[in-house]
Structure 1
Amino acid sequence: MTAPNTSLRTAVVTGAGSGIGRAIATTLAERGWRVVVTDIDGEGAAQTAAGLTGGGERGHEYLRFDVTDGEAAVALADDVADRLGLDAWINNAGVSAMQRFVDVSPEQYDRSLEINLKAVFFCGQAAARAMIRTGRQGSIVNTASMAAKQGRVPFLADYVASKFGVLGLTQAMAFELAEHRITVNCVCPGFVATPMQSRELDWEAALSESTPEQVRQSWIDATPLGRLQTPEDVARAVAFLVSDDAGFITGEALSVNGGAYMD
Protein backbone atom coordinates (compact mmCIF):
# COMPACT_ATOMS: atom_id res chain seq x y z
CA MET A 1 0.00 0.00 0.00
CA THR A 2 1.25 3.48 -0.88
CA ALA A 3 2.12 5.55 2.16
CA PRO A 4 -0.27 8.48 2.68
CA ASN A 5 0.87 11.96 1.72
CA THR A 6 1.98 13.66 4.91
CA SER A 7 2.44 17.13 3.41
CA LEU A 8 -1.25 17.95 3.72
CA ARG A 9 -3.23 17.29 6.87
CA THR A 10 -6.59 15.55 6.49
CA ALA A 11 -9.73 15.97 8.58
CA VAL A 12 -13.01 14.06 8.56
CA VAL A 13 -16.04 16.18 9.46
CA THR A 14 -19.39 14.54 10.20
CA GLY A 15 -22.68 16.35 9.71
CA ALA A 16 -20.95 18.67 7.25
CA GLY A 17 -23.74 18.92 4.70
CA SER A 18 -25.02 22.18 6.22
CA GLY A 19 -24.84 24.46 9.25
CA ILE A 20 -21.94 24.23 11.66
CA GLY A 21 -20.43 21.21 9.89
CA ARG A 22 -20.31 23.00 6.56
CA ALA A 23 -18.66 26.01 8.22
CA ILE A 24 -16.08 23.75 9.88
CA ALA A 25 -15.25 22.07 6.57
CA THR A 26 -14.99 25.44 4.82
CA THR A 27 -12.79 26.99 7.50
CA LEU A 28 -10.43 24.01 7.63
CA ALA A 29 -10.10 24.03 3.84
CA GLU A 30 -9.31 27.73 3.89
CA ARG A 31 -6.57 27.01 6.42
CA GLY A 32 -4.88 24.40 4.30
CA TRP A 33 -6.55 21.16 5.35
CA ARG A 34 -7.81 18.43 3.05
CA VAL A 35 -11.38 17.69 4.18
CA VAL A 36 -13.43 14.53 3.91
CA VAL A 37 -16.98 15.85 4.08
CA THR A 38 -19.57 13.43 5.42
CA ASP A 39 -23.28 13.67 6.08
CA ILE A 40 -26.31 11.41 6.02
CA ASP A 41 -27.51 13.86 3.37
CA GLY A 42 -25.22 12.85 0.53
CA GLU A 43 -26.33 15.72 -1.68
CA GLY A 44 -25.57 18.23 1.07
CA ALA A 45 -22.13 16.69 1.55
CA ALA A 46 -21.46 16.98 -2.18
CA GLN A 47 -22.51 20.63 -2.19
CA THR A 48 -20.21 21.41 0.74
CA ALA A 49 -17.25 19.67 -0.88
CA ALA A 50 -17.85 21.46 -4.18
CA GLY A 51 -17.54 24.81 -2.45
CA LEU A 52 -14.23 24.11 -0.70
CA THR A 53 -10.95 25.67 -1.76
CA GLY A 54 -7.57 23.93 -1.92
CA GLY A 55 -7.31 20.27 -1.04
CA GLY A 56 -4.04 19.49 -2.75
CA GLU A 57 -3.58 17.20 -5.75
CA ARG A 58 -6.14 14.68 -4.56
CA GLY A 59 -8.66 17.32 -3.60
CA HIS A 60 -11.40 17.19 -1.01
CA GLU A 61 -13.71 14.21 -0.75
CA TYR A 62 -17.29 13.60 0.32
CA LEU A 63 -19.58 10.68 1.00
CA ARG A 64 -22.93 9.84 2.49
CA PHE A 65 -22.26 8.56 5.99
CA ASP A 66 -24.63 7.49 8.77
CA VAL A 67 -22.83 8.13 12.06
CA THR A 68 -24.92 5.46 13.80
CA ASP A 69 -23.39 2.77 11.56
CA GLY A 70 -20.41 1.57 13.57
CA GLU A 71 -19.03 -0.68 10.83
CA ALA A 72 -19.15 2.19 8.34
CA ALA A 73 -17.29 4.40 10.82
CA VAL A 74 -14.49 1.85 11.11
CA ALA A 75 -14.29 1.48 7.34
CA LEU A 76 -14.19 5.24 6.82
CA ALA A 77 -11.54 5.89 9.46
CA ASP A 78 -9.32 3.07 8.20
CA ASP A 79 -9.69 4.09 4.56
CA VAL A 80 -8.80 7.73 5.22
CA ALA A 81 -5.95 6.77 7.54
CA ASP A 82 -4.42 4.41 4.98
CA ARG A 83 -4.88 6.54 1.85
CA LEU A 84 -4.50 10.09 3.12
CA GLY A 85 -3.43 10.01 6.75
CA LEU A 86 -6.03 10.79 9.40
CA ASP A 87 -4.99 13.89 11.34
CA ALA A 88 -8.32 15.09 12.74
CA TRP A 89 -11.83 13.77 13.20
CA ILE A 90 -14.64 16.19 14.05
CA ASN A 91 -17.75 14.57 15.52
CA ASN A 92 -20.23 17.27 14.59
CA ALA A 93 -23.41 15.43 13.52
CA GLY A 94 -26.30 15.89 15.92
CA VAL A 95 -30.05 16.24 16.30
CA SER A 96 -32.50 18.02 18.56
CA ALA A 97 -36.23 17.89 19.17
CA MET A 98 -38.09 20.06 21.65
CA GLN A 99 -40.66 18.63 24.02
CA ARG A 100 -41.63 19.02 27.64
CA PHE A 101 -39.74 16.58 29.87
CA VAL A 102 -42.93 14.74 30.85
CA ASP A 103 -43.85 14.28 27.20
CA VAL A 104 -40.53 13.00 25.80
CA SER A 105 -41.15 9.61 24.22
CA PRO A 106 -38.80 6.62 24.47
CA GLU A 107 -38.30 6.90 20.71
CA GLN A 108 -37.23 10.56 20.92
CA TYR A 109 -34.92 9.84 23.87
CA ASP A 110 -33.30 6.90 22.07
CA ARG A 111 -32.77 8.92 18.88
CA SER A 112 -31.11 11.78 20.77
CA LEU A 113 -28.67 9.48 22.54
CA GLU A 114 -28.09 7.29 19.49
CA ILE A 115 -26.93 10.18 17.31
CA ASN A 116 -25.64 12.74 19.81
CA LEU A 117 -23.73 10.41 22.15
CA LYS A 118 -23.44 6.79 21.04
CA ALA A 119 -22.32 7.80 17.54
CA VAL A 120 -19.73 10.18 19.01
CA PHE A 121 -18.41 7.30 21.13
CA PHE A 122 -18.03 4.79 18.31
CA CYS A 123 -16.93 7.24 15.61
CA GLY A 124 -14.34 8.57 18.04
CA GLN A 125 -13.27 5.02 18.80
CA ALA A 126 -12.87 4.23 15.10
CA ALA A 127 -10.84 7.39 14.54
CA ALA A 128 -8.63 6.77 17.56
CA ARG A 129 -7.92 3.18 16.57
CA ALA A 130 -6.96 4.26 13.05
CA MET A 131 -4.68 7.00 14.37
CA ILE A 132 -2.99 4.64 16.81
CA ARG A 133 -2.54 1.92 14.18
CA THR A 134 -0.91 4.33 11.73
CA GLY A 135 1.11 6.19 14.36
CA ARG A 136 -0.71 9.48 13.76
CA GLN A 137 -0.68 12.02 16.61
CA GLY A 138 -4.03 13.52 15.70
CA SER A 139 -6.94 15.43 17.17
CA ILE A 140 -10.56 14.61 17.84
CA VAL A 141 -13.11 17.37 18.43
CA ASN A 142 -16.66 16.69 19.55
CA THR A 143 -19.47 19.19 19.13
CA ALA A 144 -21.23 19.43 22.49
CA SER A 145 -23.37 22.43 23.45
CA MET A 146 -23.93 25.13 26.01
CA ALA A 147 -26.53 22.58 27.16
CA ALA A 148 -23.65 20.25 28.09
CA LYS A 149 -22.85 22.53 31.03
CA GLN A 150 -26.25 23.48 32.39
CA GLY A 151 -29.62 21.81 32.66
CA ARG A 152 -31.42 25.15 32.71
CA VAL A 153 -32.54 24.74 29.11
CA PRO A 154 -36.25 24.58 28.30
CA PHE A 155 -37.82 21.62 26.52
CA LEU A 156 -34.54 19.83 25.72
CA ALA A 157 -34.11 17.29 28.53
CA ASP A 158 -33.07 14.43 26.24
CA TYR A 159 -30.71 16.72 24.31
CA VAL A 160 -29.19 18.00 27.57
CA ALA A 161 -28.63 14.42 28.73
CA SER A 162 -26.88 13.52 25.49
CA LYS A 163 -24.64 16.59 25.49
CA PHE A 164 -23.65 16.22 29.16
CA GLY A 165 -22.60 12.74 28.08
CA VAL A 166 -20.48 14.15 25.26
CA LEU A 167 -18.63 16.40 27.68
CA GLY A 168 -17.84 13.52 30.04
CA LEU A 169 -16.92 11.24 27.16
CA THR A 170 -14.54 13.89 25.82
CA GLN A 171 -12.67 13.96 29.11
CA ALA A 172 -12.51 10.14 29.30
CA MET A 173 -11.23 9.91 25.74
CA ALA A 174 -8.65 12.62 26.35
CA PHE A 175 -7.33 10.86 29.43
CA GLU A 176 -6.92 7.46 27.78
CA LEU A 177 -5.65 8.69 24.42
CA ALA A 178 -3.05 11.07 25.83
CA GLU A 179 -0.40 8.34 25.84
CA HIS A 180 -0.80 8.16 22.07
CA ARG A 181 -0.47 11.95 21.76
CA ILE A 182 -4.03 12.23 20.49
CA THR A 183 -5.84 15.28 21.85
CA VAL A 184 -9.59 15.23 22.43
CA ASN A 185 -11.65 18.35 23.11
CA CYS A 186 -15.17 19.58 22.59
CA VAL A 187 -16.77 22.88 21.64
CA CYS A 188 -19.91 24.12 23.36
CA PRO A 189 -21.87 26.46 21.08
CA GLY A 190 -24.77 28.61 22.21
CA PHE A 191 -27.55 30.05 20.06
CA VAL A 192 -26.24 29.34 16.56
CA ALA A 193 -28.11 30.55 13.47
CA THR A 194 -28.57 27.28 11.55
CA PRO A 195 -31.47 25.33 10.00
CA MET A 196 -31.66 23.38 13.28
CA GLN A 197 -32.10 26.64 15.17
CA SER A 198 -34.90 27.73 12.86
CA ARG A 199 -36.81 24.60 13.81
CA GLU A 200 -36.12 25.17 17.49
CA LEU A 201 -37.46 28.72 17.25
CA ASP A 202 -40.80 27.36 16.06
CA TRP A 203 -40.85 24.56 18.62
CA GLU A 204 -40.01 26.75 21.59
CA ALA A 205 -42.51 29.39 20.49
CA ALA A 206 -45.29 26.81 20.37
CA LEU A 207 -44.34 25.25 23.70
CA SER A 208 -43.96 28.61 25.47
CA GLU A 209 -47.04 30.17 23.81
CA SER A 210 -44.85 32.86 22.30
CA THR A 211 -43.72 33.73 18.77
CA PRO A 212 -40.52 32.78 16.92
CA GLU A 213 -39.56 36.46 16.83
CA GLN A 214 -39.95 36.81 20.60
CA VAL A 215 -37.96 33.64 21.23
CA ARG A 216 -35.21 34.82 18.89
CA GLN A 217 -34.98 38.13 20.71
CA SER A 218 -34.83 36.37 24.07
CA TRP A 219 -31.84 34.39 22.83
CA ILE A 220 -30.11 37.57 21.72
CA ASP A 221 -30.91 39.21 25.06
CA ALA A 222 -29.35 36.22 26.85
CA THR A 223 -26.09 36.67 24.91
CA PRO A 224 -23.85 39.42 26.32
CA LEU A 225 -22.16 39.99 22.96
CA GLY A 226 -25.57 40.95 21.65
CA ARG A 227 -26.13 38.78 18.59
CA LEU A 228 -26.91 35.26 17.55
CA GLN A 229 -23.89 33.10 16.96
CA THR A 230 -22.82 32.15 13.43
CA PRO A 231 -21.60 28.72 12.34
CA GLU A 232 -18.28 30.38 11.51
CA ASP A 233 -17.84 31.37 15.16
CA VAL A 234 -17.84 27.67 16.04
CA ALA A 235 -15.75 26.68 13.04
CA ARG A 236 -12.90 28.98 13.98
CA ALA A 237 -12.79 27.46 17.46
CA VAL A 238 -12.63 23.97 16.00
CA ALA A 239 -9.86 25.06 13.63
CA PHE A 240 -7.90 26.27 16.64
CA LEU A 241 -8.38 23.01 18.55
CA VAL A 242 -6.96 20.94 15.68
CA SER A 243 -4.08 23.34 15.08
CA ASP A 244 -0.55 23.12 16.43
CA ASP A 245 -1.34 26.09 18.68
CA ALA A 246 -3.66 23.81 20.68
CA GLY A 247 -1.22 20.93 20.84
CA PHE A 248 -1.07 20.96 24.65
CA ILE A 249 -4.82 21.33 25.18
CA THR A 250 -6.85 18.19 25.80
CA GLY A 251 -9.97 17.23 27.74
CA GLU A 252 -11.38 20.75 27.49
CA ALA A 253 -14.92 21.91 26.75
CA LEU A 254 -14.48 25.26 25.02
CA SER A 255 -17.48 27.55 25.43
CA VAL A 256 -18.17 29.41 22.20
CA ASN A 257 -21.41 31.23 22.96
CA GLY A 258 -20.86 34.96 23.20
CA GLY A 259 -21.06 34.80 26.98
CA ALA A 260 -24.54 33.25 27.12
CA TYR A 261 -23.10 30.75 29.60
CA MET A 262 -19.89 31.39 31.51
CA ASP A 263 -18.01 28.82 33.56
Structure 2
Amino acid sequence: MRINVFISSAGFCSRRAAERLVASGQVTINGVIAEKNSIVEENDVIEVNGEVISPSTENHYIILNKPVGITCTGLRTVQGNIIDFINYPVRLFPVGRLDKDSEGLIILTNDGPIANKILHSEHGHEKEYIVTVDKPIDNDFIKGMSNGVLIGDIVTKKCKVSQINEFTFRIILTQGLNRQIRKMAKSFGYKVINLRRIRIMKLNLADLEIGKWRSLSAEETKSLIDQLEKEENYENLN
Protein backbone atom coordinates (compact mmCIF):
# COMPACT_ATOMS: atom_id res chain seq x y z
CA MET A 1 0.00 0.00 0.00
CA ARG A 2 1.03 3.64 -0.39
CA ILE A 3 3.14 5.05 2.41
CA ASN A 4 0.56 7.60 3.62
CA VAL A 5 -2.14 4.91 3.74
CA PHE A 6 0.16 2.62 5.74
CA ILE A 7 0.97 5.31 8.31
CA SER A 8 -2.71 6.17 8.71
CA SER A 9 -3.79 2.51 8.92
CA ALA A 10 -1.15 1.95 11.59
CA GLY A 11 -2.88 4.57 13.74
CA PHE A 12 -0.03 7.06 13.77
CA CYS A 13 -1.93 10.00 12.29
CA SER A 14 -4.54 10.85 9.67
CA ARG A 15 -3.83 10.29 5.99
CA ARG A 16 -3.54 14.02 5.35
CA ALA A 17 -1.07 14.42 8.20
CA ALA A 18 0.89 11.43 6.89
CA GLU A 19 1.16 13.11 3.50
CA ARG A 20 2.65 16.19 5.18
CA LEU A 21 5.16 14.05 7.09
CA VAL A 22 6.26 12.36 3.88
CA ALA A 23 6.52 15.68 2.02
CA SER A 24 8.75 17.12 4.76
CA GLY A 25 11.14 14.15 4.64
CA GLN A 26 10.31 12.82 8.11
CA VAL A 27 9.44 9.31 6.92
CA THR A 28 11.83 6.54 5.90
CA ILE A 29 11.34 3.07 4.41
CA ASN A 30 14.21 0.75 5.29
CA GLY A 31 16.34 3.79 6.08
CA VAL A 32 15.59 5.58 2.80
CA ILE A 33 13.56 8.81 2.79
CA ALA A 34 10.08 8.05 1.48
CA GLU A 35 8.48 9.88 -1.42
CA LYS A 36 4.85 10.80 -2.05
CA ASN A 37 3.97 7.63 -3.96
CA SER A 38 6.32 5.20 -2.20
CA ILE A 39 4.85 1.72 -1.77
CA VAL A 40 5.22 -0.27 1.45
CA GLU A 41 5.95 -3.97 1.02
CA GLU A 42 5.67 -6.75 3.58
CA ASN A 43 8.56 -6.73 6.09
CA ASP A 44 9.55 -3.13 5.24
CA VAL A 45 10.63 -1.04 8.24
CA ILE A 46 8.80 2.27 8.37
CA GLU A 47 10.02 5.07 10.64
CA VAL A 48 8.72 8.57 11.37
CA ASN A 49 11.44 10.74 12.89
CA GLY A 50 13.23 7.57 13.99
CA GLU A 51 10.13 5.96 15.55
CA VAL A 52 9.26 2.58 14.05
CA ILE A 53 5.62 2.41 12.95
CA SER A 54 3.75 -0.87 13.32
CA PRO A 55 0.13 -1.67 12.40
CA SER A 56 -2.41 -1.29 15.21
CA THR A 57 -3.82 -4.49 16.70
CA GLU A 58 -6.86 -2.91 18.41
CA ASN A 59 -8.88 0.19 17.57
CA HIS A 60 -9.54 2.85 20.20
CA TYR A 61 -12.05 5.72 20.00
CA ILE A 62 -12.36 8.52 22.56
CA ILE A 63 -13.83 12.00 22.77
CA LEU A 64 -12.20 14.84 24.66
CA ASN A 65 -13.71 18.08 25.89
CA LYS A 66 -10.67 20.08 24.84
CA PRO A 67 -9.83 23.15 26.91
CA VAL A 68 -8.57 26.42 25.47
CA GLY A 69 -4.77 26.41 25.06
CA ILE A 70 -4.36 22.81 23.86
CA THR A 71 -3.17 22.33 20.27
CA CYS A 72 -4.72 19.55 18.16
CA THR A 73 -1.52 18.03 16.83
CA GLY A 74 0.16 14.66 17.12
CA LEU A 75 3.59 16.29 17.20
CA ARG A 76 5.00 15.81 20.68
CA THR A 77 7.51 18.62 20.05
CA VAL A 78 4.66 21.18 20.17
CA GLN A 79 4.13 22.52 23.68
CA GLY A 80 0.60 21.86 24.91
CA ASN A 81 -0.05 19.19 22.28
CA ILE A 82 -3.22 17.11 22.65
CA ILE A 83 -1.37 13.78 22.82
CA ASP A 84 0.60 14.67 25.95
CA PHE A 85 -2.50 16.30 27.42
CA ILE A 86 -4.69 13.17 27.30
CA ASN A 87 -1.75 10.88 28.21
CA TYR A 88 -3.55 7.87 26.75
CA PRO A 89 -1.77 4.49 27.03
CA VAL A 90 -2.08 3.87 23.25
CA ARG A 91 -0.92 6.32 20.59
CA LEU A 92 -3.97 8.17 19.20
CA PHE A 93 -4.34 11.14 16.88
CA PRO A 94 -7.00 13.88 16.66
CA VAL A 95 -9.60 13.61 13.90
CA GLY A 96 -9.65 17.05 12.31
CA ARG A 97 -8.87 20.12 14.30
CA LEU A 98 -10.22 22.54 16.87
CA ASP A 99 -8.05 25.63 17.08
CA LYS A 100 -5.99 26.43 20.16
CA ASP A 101 -8.28 29.28 21.23
CA SER A 102 -11.42 27.11 21.06
CA GLU A 103 -12.80 24.40 23.32
CA GLY A 104 -15.09 21.43 23.06
CA LEU A 105 -15.52 18.08 21.39
CA ILE A 106 -12.66 16.45 19.51
CA ILE A 107 -12.48 12.80 18.48
CA LEU A 108 -9.21 10.89 18.88
CA THR A 109 -8.53 7.42 17.53
CA ASN A 110 -5.88 5.10 16.10
CA ASP A 111 -8.28 3.90 13.39
CA GLY A 112 -6.95 5.64 10.28
CA PRO A 113 -9.64 4.48 7.82
CA ILE A 114 -12.47 5.60 10.13
CA ALA A 115 -10.77 8.95 10.72
CA ASN A 116 -10.49 9.52 6.98
CA LYS A 117 -14.18 8.72 6.48
CA ILE A 118 -15.17 11.19 9.21
CA LEU A 119 -13.04 13.87 7.56
CA HIS A 120 -14.53 13.20 4.11
CA SER A 121 -16.27 16.56 3.57
CA GLU A 122 -18.48 15.32 0.72
CA HIS A 123 -20.65 13.50 3.25
CA GLY A 124 -21.61 16.81 4.91
CA HIS A 125 -21.05 15.67 8.48
CA GLU A 126 -22.58 18.14 10.92
CA LYS A 127 -20.53 19.93 13.56
CA GLU A 128 -22.38 22.06 16.10
CA TYR A 129 -20.95 25.02 18.01
CA ILE A 130 -22.03 27.52 20.66
CA VAL A 131 -20.38 30.89 20.01
CA THR A 132 -20.22 34.11 22.03
CA VAL A 133 -19.25 37.38 20.35
CA ASP A 134 -18.23 40.84 21.57
CA LYS A 135 -21.37 42.82 20.77
CA PRO A 136 -25.13 42.30 20.41
CA ILE A 137 -26.30 40.05 17.59
CA ASP A 138 -28.91 41.28 15.11
CA ASN A 139 -31.04 39.59 12.46
CA ASP A 140 -28.75 40.72 9.64
CA PHE A 141 -25.86 38.88 11.29
CA ILE A 142 -27.87 35.65 11.70
CA LYS A 143 -29.16 35.80 8.13
CA GLY A 144 -25.77 36.68 6.68
CA MET A 145 -23.96 33.90 8.53
CA SER A 146 -26.62 31.40 7.43
CA ASN A 147 -26.47 32.22 3.73
CA GLY A 148 -22.73 31.86 3.20
CA VAL A 149 -19.84 34.25 3.77
CA LEU A 150 -16.98 35.22 1.47
CA ILE A 151 -13.68 34.25 3.10
CA GLY A 152 -10.79 35.06 0.80
CA ASP A 153 -11.71 33.39 -2.47
CA ILE A 154 -14.21 30.95 -0.92
CA VAL A 155 -17.88 31.41 -0.13
CA THR A 156 -18.80 29.20 2.83
CA LYS A 157 -21.62 26.70 2.46
CA LYS A 158 -25.05 27.67 3.74
CA CYS A 159 -25.48 26.62 7.35
CA LYS A 160 -27.92 26.64 10.26
CA VAL A 161 -27.57 29.59 12.64
CA SER A 162 -29.88 30.50 15.54
CA GLN A 163 -29.63 33.11 18.29
CA ILE A 164 -29.43 31.94 21.91
CA ASN A 165 -29.18 35.30 23.65
CA GLU A 166 -27.96 38.85 23.01
CA PHE A 167 -24.33 37.82 22.50
CA THR A 168 -24.49 34.07 21.80
CA PHE A 169 -25.56 31.96 18.84
CA ARG A 170 -25.64 28.33 17.76
CA ILE A 171 -24.15 27.32 14.39
CA ILE A 172 -24.13 23.97 12.59
CA LEU A 173 -21.52 23.57 9.85
CA THR A 174 -20.94 20.86 7.26
CA GLN A 175 -17.46 22.01 6.29
CA GLY A 176 -14.28 22.74 8.19
CA LEU A 177 -12.27 25.64 6.85
CA ASN A 178 -9.43 26.89 9.05
CA ARG A 179 -10.84 29.16 11.79
CA GLN A 180 -14.03 29.33 9.74
CA ILE A 181 -16.47 30.65 12.33
CA ARG A 182 -14.07 33.32 13.55
CA LYS A 183 -13.47 34.52 9.99
CA MET A 184 -17.19 34.46 9.19
CA ALA A 185 -18.03 36.55 12.26
CA LYS A 186 -15.17 38.95 11.55
CA SER A 187 -16.58 39.69 8.10
CA PHE A 188 -19.64 41.18 9.84
CA GLY A 189 -17.56 43.17 12.31
CA TYR A 190 -17.82 40.74 15.24
CA LYS A 191 -15.05 39.21 17.32
CA VAL A 192 -15.48 35.72 18.77
CA ILE A 193 -14.97 35.71 22.53
CA ASN A 194 -15.74 32.05 23.18
CA LEU A 195 -16.21 29.13 20.78
CA ARG A 196 -17.25 25.67 21.97
CA ARG A 197 -17.98 22.65 19.80
CA ILE A 198 -20.67 20.48 21.36
CA ARG A 199 -21.39 17.90 18.64
CA ILE A 200 -19.83 16.02 15.73
CA MET A 201 -22.33 13.91 13.75
CA LYS A 202 -24.26 12.02 16.49
CA LEU A 203 -21.56 12.36 19.15
CA ASN A 204 -22.34 14.91 21.87
CA LEU A 205 -20.35 16.35 24.77
CA ALA A 206 -23.34 15.92 27.09
CA ASP A 207 -22.01 16.33 30.67
CA LEU A 208 -18.33 15.63 29.90
CA GLU A 209 -16.29 18.18 31.85
CA ILE A 210 -13.72 20.46 30.22
CA GLY A 211 -10.34 18.73 30.12
CA LYS A 212 -11.83 15.25 30.54
CA TRP A 213 -12.10 12.44 28.00
CA ARG A 214 -14.04 9.22 27.75
CA SER A 215 -14.08 6.17 25.50
CA LEU A 216 -16.98 5.78 23.12
CA SER A 217 -19.48 3.18 24.24
CA ALA A 218 -19.94 0.05 22.14
CA GLU A 219 -23.28 1.47 20.98
CA GLU A 220 -21.74 4.82 19.97
CA THR A 221 -18.89 3.10 18.13
CA LYS A 222 -21.26 0.81 16.23
CA SER A 223 -23.55 3.73 15.32
CA LEU A 224 -20.60 5.78 14.07
CA ILE A 225 -19.13 2.96 11.98
CA ASP A 226 -22.54 1.97 10.59
CA GLN A 227 -23.26 5.54 9.48
CA LEU A 228 -19.87 5.87 7.78
CA GLU A 229 -20.25 2.51 6.02
CA LYS A 230 -23.72 3.44 4.74
CA GLU A 231 -22.34 6.69 3.34
CA GLU A 232 -19.47 4.86 1.67
CA ASN A 233 -21.81 2.27 0.14
CA TYR A 234 -24.11 5.02 -1.15
CA GLU A 235 -21.14 6.85 -2.67
CA ASN A 236 -19.93 3.66 -4.40
CA LEU A 237 -23.39 3.09 -5.91
CA ASN A 238 -23.42 6.60 -7.33
Question: How does the TM-score come out when normalised to structure 1?
Answer: 0.24
Q: Which has the higher strand share?
A: 2
Q: Which has the higher helix share?
A: 1
Question: How does the TM-score come out when normalised to structure 2?
Answer: 0.25
Tell which structure's C-alpha radius of gyration is larger: 2
